[in-house]
Amino acid sequence: KNTLSAILMTLFLFISCNNSGKDGNSASTNPADESTKGPNLTEISKKITDSNAVVLAVKEVETLIASIDELADKAIGKKIQQNNGLGTENNHNGSLLAGVYAISTLITQKLSSLNSEELKEKIKEAKDCSEKFTKKLETGHAELGKEDATDDDAKKAVLKTNADKSKGAEELEKLFKSVESWQKQ
């Protein structure tokens, strides 16, 4: 949030500065007047816009990963009850896992579309983790891809705090940590 605010304030600062030369021609865009040429505001604005787009895309990926975590934590073995929130519905997690799978493929798509030289290696690492998580869910389709997927199998697939992470939770945890490391940049 603070990075985004700083970027937007910088952009506002450059836009609000009246950098007009004679006859309203901006000194920064008039190549004939090299002696008074200031910063190229068009270039700076483009860099800020590109940087802003990367920040928003990273936040979107973080939100998608957090949504999987929330679903795993609160929705495994649950159903909606009338007027009481969630109730117990053991061993019917197929739709939940299908939703997690859909989110995981969306995460991979978002990571594939990210284009940032500064984060190139980290994006590649996160994309690899995302693809491994999605693949792990796919290869476990016999247990995870049915309506009556057990609570135990669902936890092994998507609950990062579960002791047994053999059906995908280990890969999800690696994905989470790889994206979390971006915040330390």
Q: Pick the residue with more confidence: 51 or 153?
A: 153
Closest CA to 114 of 102, 125, 101: 125
Tally DSSP H helices, then E strands, for the chain: 7, 2
Instruction: Provide mean pLDDT across the span 134-145.
Output: 96
Confidence of residue 15 (pLDDT cuts 50, 70, 90): low
d(CA 118, CA 79): 43
d(CA 97, CA 79): 14
d(CA 19, CA 41): 10
Q: Collapsing DSSP states into helix, strand and coil, what is residue 78?
A: strand
Whether the predicted pLDDT of 13 surpasses 80 = no
Q: How large is the greatest C-alpha to C-alpha distance in the chain, in angstroms?
A: 75
CATH 2.60.40.10 assigned to domain 53-184? The reply is no
The pLDDT value given to residue 166: 96
Q: What is the DSSP-derived secondary structure letter of residue 20?
A: B
Instruction: Provide mean pLDDT across the span 140-165.
Output: 96
Name the residue ranges covered by the structural domains of the chain.
1-39, 53-184
Residues 19-77: tens digit of each pLDDT: 555 555 554 555 555 555 677 888 888 888 887 888 888 899 999 999 999 999 999 99
Q: What is the pTM of this model?
A: 0.75
Residues 163-177: tens digit of each pLDDT: 999 999 999 999 999
